[in-house]
Amino acid sequence: MTVTRAPADALSVLDRPNSYIGKTVPRPNLDRLLQGRGQYVSDLELPRMAHVVFLRSPHAHAKIAAIDADAARRMPGVVSIVTGRELEAVITPWVGVLSHLKGLKSAPQHAIAVDRVCWQGEAVAAIVATSRAAAEDAMEHISVDYEELEAVTDMRAALDPAALVIHAALGDNLAFERTLDAGDVDHALSGSELVEADFVFGRHTGVTLESRAVVADWNAAEARLTIYQGTQAPHMVQNIAALHLGLREAQVRVVCKDVGGSFGIKVHIYADEMATYALSKLLRRPVKFVADRVESFNTDIHARDHRCRGRIGVRPDGTITAFEIDDLTGIGPYSMYPRTSAIEANQVVNLVGGPYATANYRARARVVFQNKNVMCQYRAVGHPIACSVTEGLVDLAAAKIGMDPVEIRRRNLIADDAYPCASPSGMKFEQLSHHASLTKLLQMMDYDALRAEQAALRARNVHRGIGIASFIEVTNPSAAFYGVGGAKISSQDGVAVRLDAQGSVICQTSITEQGQGSESLTAQIVGSVLGVSMERVRVILGDTDHTPYGGGTWASRGAGIGGEAALQAAKALRQNILNVAAAILQSTPAELDIVDNGIVNAADGAPRIELNELARIVYFRPDTLPPGIQPELMATRHFVPRQYPFAFTNGVQASWLEVDTETGFVKLLKHWVVEDCGTIINPQLVDEQIRGGVVQGLGAALFEKCIYDERGQLTNANMADYLVPMSGEMPDIEVGHVVSPTQESELGAKGAGEAGTAGAAAAVANAVNDALRPLDATITEIPLTPQVILSALGRI
């Protein structure tokens, strides 16, 4: 690990004896999950619970002329069948816009379609029955009379004046447009070599192991709704559910225990989930909805459906003079609620060219409506597009002037001592480490030896390629992401820590756990700062009744924001404990320390009093304390970054692969990542976040794509035809670190959850093009399927 800069206050709180920071410790929740004692919503059973199944539109666009559910209502086990019109009485529609995304428009969306369906898979009626099977049986007996309408499917055609306007009241199909012009692009390009390419990205989706699941339980006696849901943002769900059901937030409790993967899929508000809350209120009983796999493919948000024209200017000495992009993306018929579907394109504009010192940058992004499933934020929002376009252009520029891809990066990446600085799109960088990362990467992969091996194999007609991709990643978002646009999504998080009567610690945090290790990192921080062993720290999360208010876990914010709140809360509790200890021991807090669950002398470490003894005195014999002492063995702190809108991280990835030029199949041989997420709390958790993220990026590069036909039918909505990356095709992924802690927090941690996904596809695409360079083929489309590669090679 290379540390580029030590923080001013040299990790005083963290760098303590027995610190867990920077150590790989087993995750405290592993036993629970491995012994099958996880609390997943999919497994939840409540008394009188009914199950809802949604009848979904088979058409991409159609008027609903009539729904006949009489026969279905008479089927055994059916509790109720509810249409969109009927549900309107309990829940109001919503519009997915935010004020800081100027000009973004969308149409009101209903929990269940009213009069018209706008994508294949939109819910048309809810069938509530005593079991899912009974509901599915009844569903077959509902007949819906549809009048099919023209479907707008191709995003390029959506803006054609002749195209049907999906929401007539909006005037056209353009949901959002953003332009940016920084520096002087025309002037910069006029004296440069120009390279252009069209980058095409396949629409894909998150495929969580546990599908979306919710149990809504309206308790009429308490006038309270309890929502058990696998979500990343419980307080956001609380706010939205209350808003649209006409309740106060205090009337809604959201409980979110274990979640089987999320990847951004579960940070949104879905119509069928809203319908489930409303059905529980309507029917006054618990109602459960668990999406099945086909529904997941048809309704979980999709992402990355972009076509982006990119241009780069380069001088013969390798100086990159300008970037220019024109991005187009189709988001389905509605902007998703409440985070909107303009964020991805907005991020693309923000991030293209980000690692480079180039000041001239022009961009346009257009976001259009179409009759396909909704698109929204998925792991590494916008980053893979921006990174693939940027890094693809940089490699094309290098090829054009005959320069090594590493050399052109060395000459253009922002210097490690140039910080703080800002990108042409206005992104503020506190401290990045592109050059240190690249140097480390080249060492890890033994770049020169690999190039030699590649050359030797080429002579034997074996085509291997090396692809490099530098990237930046948005983490630790402040209110600039959503709050400023009017979304009630908290950017601050809170942690409460208390010492119990036997000297153990209970910690309530507003961040959530979906497998990343939030519980572990919170316990590591609290244990380290307090001087208490981790087994004594119990972390409670995922319950709006029992945790502080906060944002949850998304946008790589859990460790950086929730972790800092945990650190500050633990620090405050530690001070409180030392104050009491000083009173008991007739000493001063400064002379004491907490080590290994006991108070010791700061100077020589001699044990003074165990924490359990201190707690006993405080809770049961406060009469023995000196007069005037009121011990406070609970402390709460909140944190939100204020100085920088985002804590940018950076890194670089490399791919080594072989292309079978006869069959078009790609074999991934090895992948390397060097990343800089600041302070590393648990190296194994960071490495596995990186690896998992890389795998999702490799999926995008080679396999994953939601294939729609021209009528807007999703034709591969199952696990056999939608190809998720599997272990058999994955290479070994080596991860290295450079550490530049952020100064905005004492912890110094930035996020690591999306870095892997951000750059993996770009590295693979560059490697494939590197392999194919002697054959004069360039491909700027993913997934890189055998069909795409063979076509590019002119074999078929």
Which residues, 6+ apart, have CB-to-CB distance to 755 below 8 Å? 380, 471, 473, 556, 649, 651, 673, 675, 677, 689, 690, 693
> Which span (79-87, 246-254, 630-638, 656-664) binds other proteins, by CB under 8 A?
656-664
418 interacts with other proteins by CB under 8 A: no
Q: Return the number of the residue (35 or 461) whose C-beta is nearest other proteins.
A: 461
Q: Return the number of the residue (47 or 728) whose C-beta is nearest other proteins.
A: 728
Binning the chain into helix, strand and coil, the percentages to the nearest 5 are 30, 25, 45
Q: Which of 86, 88, 136, 177 binds other proteins (CB under 8 A)?
A: 136
- Tokens 């080679």 map to which residue? 702
What is the closest distance, in whole angstroms, from the C-beta atom of residue 791 to other proteins in the complex?
8
DSSP states along 232-247: S-HHHHHHHHHHHHT-
Q: Which of 24, 99, 143, 663 binds other proteins (CB under 8 A)?
A: 663
Nearest to 756 by CA among 698, 681, 685: 698
What is the closest distance, in whole angstroms, from the C-beta atom of residue 785 to other proteins in the complex?
8
Structure tokens at 328: 């187009």
Q: Which of 716, 734, 773, 777 binds other proteins (CB under 8 A)?
A: 716
Which residues, 6+ apart, have CB-to-CB distance to 6 below 8 Å? none
Q: Return the number of the residue (418 or 707) whose C-beta is nearest other proteins.
A: 707
Contacts with other proteins in 292-351 (CB under 8 A)?
Answer: 292-294
Nearest to 648 by CA among 401, 446, 420, 342: 420
Nearest to 58 by CA among 712, 719, 705, 718: 712
Q: Which of 15, 147, 186, 721 binds other proteins (CB under 8 A)?
A: 721
> Which span (215-223, 252-260, 291-299, 551-559) binds other proteins, by CB under 8 A?
291-299
Q: Return the number of the residue (628 or 728) whose C-beta is nearest other proteins.
A: 728
Interaction pattern, residues 439-468, with other proteins; x per rule: CB under 8 A: ----------------------x-------
- How many Å apart are CA 452 and CA 456, to the nearest integer? 6
Q: Return the number of the residue (515 or 664) whose C-beta is nearest other proteins.
A: 664
Binding footprint of other proteins, residue count (CB under 8 A): 31
What is the closest distance, in whole angstroms, from the C-beta atom of residue 720 to other proteins in the complex?
8
Q: Is cis: bond before 783, omega within 30 of 0?
A: yes
Q: Return the number of the residue (258 or 704) whose C-beta is nearest other proteins.
A: 704
Q: Return the number of the residue (294 or 450) whose C-beta is nearest other proteins.
A: 294
665 interacts with other proteins by CB under 8 A: yes
Give, for 795, the enclosing helix (H) or strand (E). Answer: none
What is the closest distance, in whole angstroms, from the C-beta atom of residue 262 to other proteins in the complex?
21
Q: How far apart are the first and last CA of the chain?
A: 47
- How many Å apart are CA 368 and CA 193, to the nearest integer? 32
795 interacts with other proteins by CB under 8 A: yes
Residue 35 phi, psi dihedral angles, 5° rounding: -90, 15
> Which span (135-143, 165-173, 404-412, 633-641) binds other proteins, by CB under 8 A?
135-143
- How many Å apart are CA 562 and CA 510, to the nearest integer? 7
Question: Hey, which residues does 201 pair with through a beta bridge?
Answer: 782
Q: Which of 133, 422, 455, 775 binds other proteins (CB under 8 A)?
A: 133
658 interacts with other proteins by CB under 8 A: no
Helices (H), 479-599: 518-530, 563-585
Task: Give yes or no for a contact between 404 and 382, defined as CB atoms under 8 angstroms apart.
Answer: no
Q: Which of 169, 209, 221, 796 binds other proteins (CB under 8 A)?
A: 796
> Which span (330-338, 390-398, 633-641, 782-790) binds other proteins, by CB under 8 A?
782-790
669 interacts with other proteins by CB under 8 A: no
- How many Å apart are CA 368 and CA 371, to the nearest integer? 10
Q: Return the number of the residue (474 or 668) whose C-beta is nearest other proteins.
A: 668
Q: Which of 316, 605, 715, 732 binds other proteins (CB under 8 A)?
A: 715
Q: Return the number of the residue (330 or 725) whose C-beta is nearest other proteins.
A: 725
What is the closest distance, in whole angstroms, from the C-beta atom of residue 789 to other proteins in the complex?
10
Beta-strand pair 62-68/143-148? antiparallel
> Which span (20-28, 235-243, 266-274, 716-724) binds other proteins, by CB under 8 A?
716-724
What is the closest distance, in whole angstroms, from the C-beta atom of residue 296 to other proteins in the complex?
10
> Which span (234-242, 388-396, 451-459, 783-791) binds other proteins, by CB under 8 A?
783-791
- In the 3-class helix/strand/coil scheme, how is 246-261 assigned residue by residue? CCCHHHEEEECCECCC
CA-CA-CA-CA dihedral for 34, 37, 40, 45, to nearest 10: 150
What is the closest distance, in whole angstroms, from the C-beta atom of residue 173 to other proteins in the complex?
27
728 interacts with other proteins by CB under 8 A: yes
Phi/psi region, residue 712 (left: phi>0; alpha: psi -120 to 50; beta: rest), is left
The alpha carbon dihedral of 685, 689, 695, 696 has a sign of: positive
> Which span (136-144, 166-174, 422-430, 604-612) binds other proteins, by CB under 8 A?
136-144
Other C-beta atoms lying within 10 Å of the C-beta of residue 590:
9
Other C-beta atoms lying within 10 Å of the C-beta of residue 379:
24
Our CA angle for 295, 300, 306, nearest 5°, is 125
Q: How far is CA 344 from CA 266, 348, 385, in A?
A: 16, 6, 9
What is the closest distance, in whole angstroms, from the C-beta atom of residue 465 to other proteins in the complex?
19
Q: Which of 149, 572, 669, 790 binds other proteins (CB under 8 A)?
A: 790
Interaction pattern, residues 67-96, with other proteins; x per rule: CB under 8 A: ------------------------------
Q: Return the number of the residue (187 or 795) whose C-beta is nearest other proteins.
A: 795
- How many Å apart are CA 317 and CA 400, to the nearest integer? 12
Q: Return the number of the residue (139 or 573) whose C-beta is nearest other proteins.
A: 139
Q: Which of 179, 718, 732, 775 binds other proteins (CB under 8 A)?
A: 718
Q: Which of 415, 455, 726, 775 binds other proteins (CB under 8 A)?
A: 726
- How many Å apart are CA 595 and CA 592, to the nearest integer? 10
Contacts with other proteins in 682-711 (CB under 8 A)?
Answer: 703, 707
Question: Hey, which residues does 196 pair with through a beta bridge?
Answer: 311
What is the closest distance, in whole angstroms, from the C-beta atom of residue 728 to other proteins in the complex?
3
Q: Return the number of the residue (250 or 707) whose C-beta is nearest other proteins.
A: 707
Q: Return the number of the residue (626 or 728) whose C-beta is nearest other proteins.
A: 728
- How many Å apart are CA 387 and CA 406, to the nearest integer? 16
Task: Give yes or no for a contact between 556 and 751, defined as CB atoms under 8 angstroms apart.
Answer: yes
> Which span (185-193, 331-339, 368-376, 723-731) binds other proteins, by CB under 8 A?
723-731
Contacts with other proteins in 735-754 (CB under 8 A)?
Answer: none
141 interacts with other proteins by CB under 8 A: no
- How many Å apart are CA 767 and CA 657, to the nearest integer? 7
CA 215 to chain CA centroid, nearest Å: 23
What is the closest distance, in whole angstroms, from the C-beta atom of residue 109 to other proteins in the complex?
25
Structure tokens at 652: 């670089």
Contacts with other proteins in 206-265 (CB under 8 A)?
Answer: none
- List residues near other proteins by CB under 8 A: 132-133, 136-137, 140, 292-294, 461, 662-665, 703, 707, 715-716, 718, 720-721, 723, 725-726, 728-729, 785-787, 790, 795-796
